[in-house]
Amino acid sequence: MVRLKQKLHQSNLNKKQEFQEMEIVTIPCLQDNFSYLLICTKTGEAAVVDPSEADPIRKEIKNQNVKLTTILNTHHHWDHVGGNKELKSDYPEIKIYGHSSDKGRIPEQTEFLEDGDHVMFGKQSGEFLYNPGHTSGAITYLFGNTAFTGDTLFAAGCGRLFEGTSDQMYNSLNNLIGKLPENTQLYFGHEYTENNLRFALSVETGNTKINKKLIDVKRLCSSGSFSTPTTIADEKQTNPFLRCNSDEIKRVVKLMDPENDLTKKEVFRALRELKDVF
């Protein structure tokens, strides 16, 4: 099963390799978390995004025969940083990136990102978007047309508002991540896609794209594969949190919340509240 998963992902990645010379291996962790091993194929150095736990990462590092030099944390939650300490003890020189405002919350953090900073490993150079909402220090890492969104954007959904406001999350999703090119590959933090699509369908029953994606994702997951990554183009068609202007969604929101003035931000707020109890 594991071999099959890797093969499926490998074939996804091979397309990108020519462009970036970076391979991405999806590593399922804990119950439904995704960590990602990023391999610089020029140097054999690797970075891991959100190591939830150390052992599955160690196994994949061995399997791929690469040297881990970097950890990229999207935010401080335990299920995204749980492997930091042990990986640091394996690789004492490791660089551990996170947003500057997460200082003291990300274990062993060594790099404190501020606007304009770059993220480096091997010959790879990436950037980041500061997208608060799920937490106050949440960021998305960008390498060319590949993004790692953590718990800010999920396929067909978004993270809960633990520390940020609904307006902040609206802005992070619609004005930052949502403005990336349509073909951007989005690698997210949890396998929540099936449930997210069910919610999306409940507020937009006439959207056939959602129905089709739900069928595809069910098939994919039951065959032992994953629904990550998605793309901006796909999310614009199926993610209700990027579709606050949809007439059908607005009608549903008005029914549930008659006082809602149906601005995009108010529709977003109502959708997030509906999803919290879905």
Cβ closest to Zn ion, residue 77 vs residue 250: 77
Tell me how far apart the 2 most distant CA atoms of the chain are, in Å. 58
Cβ closest to Zn ion, residue 151 vs residue 191: 151
Stretch near Zn ion under the rule CB under 5 A, chosen from 48-56, 77-85, 112-120, 197-205: 77-85
Cβ closest to Zn ion, residue 6 vs residue 136: 136
Stretch near Zn ion under the rule CB under 5 A, chosen from 12-20, 42-50, 65-73, 74-82: 74-82
Provide CB contacts within 8 A for 98, sequence distance 6+: 73, 75, 76, 106, 109, 111, 112, 113, 137, 139
| Active site (catalytic) residues | 75, 77, 79-80, 134, 151, 190
> Interface with Zn ion includes 272 (CB under 5 A)?
no
Among 77, 213, 250, 272, which residue sits at the site for Zn ion (rule: CB under 5 A)? 77
State the nearest-atom distance from the C-beta of 242 to Zn ion, in Å: 19
Cβ closest to Zn ion, residue 106 vs residue 201: 106
The answer to whether the CB of 170 falls within 8 A of the CB of 263 is no
CA atoms within 13 A on the CB side of 15: 8
State the nearest-atom distance from the C-beta of 168 to Zn ion, in Å: 15
| Interaction residues for Zn ion, span 78-117 (CB under 5 A) | none
Terminal CA-CA length for the chain: 32
Report which of 227, 237, 215, 236 is spatially closest to residue 189, judged by C-alpha positions: 227
| Interaction residues for Zn ion, span 141-170 (CB under 5 A) | 151
Ramachandran quadrant class, 126 (left: phi over 0; alpha: psi -120 to 50; beta: rest): beta
Total binding residues toward Zn ion, as defined by CB under 5 A: 2
State the nearest-atom distance from the C-beta of 79 to Zn ion, in Å: 7
Cα distances from 125 to residues 91, 94, 118, 144, 174, in angstroms, run: 21, 16, 7, 9, 25
Cβ closest to Zn ion, residue 45 vs residue 97: 97
State the nearest-atom distance from the C-beta of 269 to Zn ion, in Å: 20
Provide CB contacts within 8 A for 40, sequence distance 6+: 21, 22, 46, 121, 122, 123, 124
Contact positions vs Zn ion (CB under 5 A): 77, 151
